[in-house]
């Protein structure tokens, strides 16, 4: 019998655990049937989300990150990343400046931009004491692989 398309793992919010989260999500995305190009983009979205949790939601404090993944109706891969840090809605951050010249271009803010561009749907919720970020990746996205303007 094939392994069910389900992932559920919890590890401390530390950069040392980044690889384990990414590898688990990438394996799930491959089993779901995404090609390597898509898997790498999902890895990117996940890295940016987890790094934001470590830097902003926990901001130096310790705590867990829970990562879950599941296939929905065989059409979408739904990945949920949650933490118990301070309320932090990365979707409330302003869009980064992508046009000013080198001297004026701010350093930072790109992570959230990548998440928005790569995932077909992004949702943030504060559920009791948790931040919950839900990323949805469609098997057959409208537009160009979630990268359309």
Partner 1 sequence: MEIEVRSVPGAAIIAAKGRLDAVTVTVFESELTGLLSGGPSRLIVNLTDLEYISSAGLRAILACSKKLQAKQGRLILVGLRGMVEEVFRMAGFLELLPVAATEAEALSKS
DSSP labels, 82-126: EE-SS---GGGSPPP--SS-TTTPPS--HHHHHHHHH-SEEEEEE
Q: Which stretch binds partner 1 (CB under 8 A): 11-19, 63-71, 84-92, 129-137?
A: 11-19
Q: Segment contacting partner 1 (CB under 8 A): 60-68, 87-95, 113-121, 135-143?
A: 113-121
Stretch that binds partner 1, among 14-22, 27-35, 73-81, 126-134 (CB under 8 A): 14-22
Q: Which is nearer to partner 1, 114 or 124 (CB)?
A: 114
Nearest distance from C-beta of residue 95 to partner 1, angstroms: 11
Instruction: Please list, residue by residue across 4-36, b when 16 or more beta carbons sit within 10 angstroms of its beta carbon and e when fewer do.
Output: ebebeeebebeeebbeebbebbbebbebbebee
| Of positions 98, 128, 144, 148, contacts partner 1 by CB under 8 A | 98
Report CA torsion sign: 57, 59, 65, 69. Answer: positive
Q: Which of 6, 10, 19, 74 binds partner 1 (CB under 8 A)?
A: 19
């Amino acid at each position: 019998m094939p392994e069910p398309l389900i992932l559920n793992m919890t590890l401390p919010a530390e950069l040392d655990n980044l690889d384990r989260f990414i590898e688990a999500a990438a394996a799930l995305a491959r089993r779901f049937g995404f090609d390597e190009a898509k898997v790498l983009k999902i890895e990117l979205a996940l890295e940016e989300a987890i790094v934001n949790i470590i830097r902003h939601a926990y901001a130096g404090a310790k705590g867990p990150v829970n990562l879950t993944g599941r296939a929905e109706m065989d059409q979408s891969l739904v990945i949920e990343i949650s933490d118990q840090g301070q309320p932090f809605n990365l979707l409330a951050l302003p869009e980064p400046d992508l046009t000013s010249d080198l001297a004026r271009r701010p350093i930072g803010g790109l992570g959230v931009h990548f998440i928005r561009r790569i995932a077909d749907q992004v949702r943030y919720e504060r559920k009791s004491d948790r931040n919950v970020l839900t990323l949805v990746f469609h098997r057959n996205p409208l537009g160009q692989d979630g990268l359309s303007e």
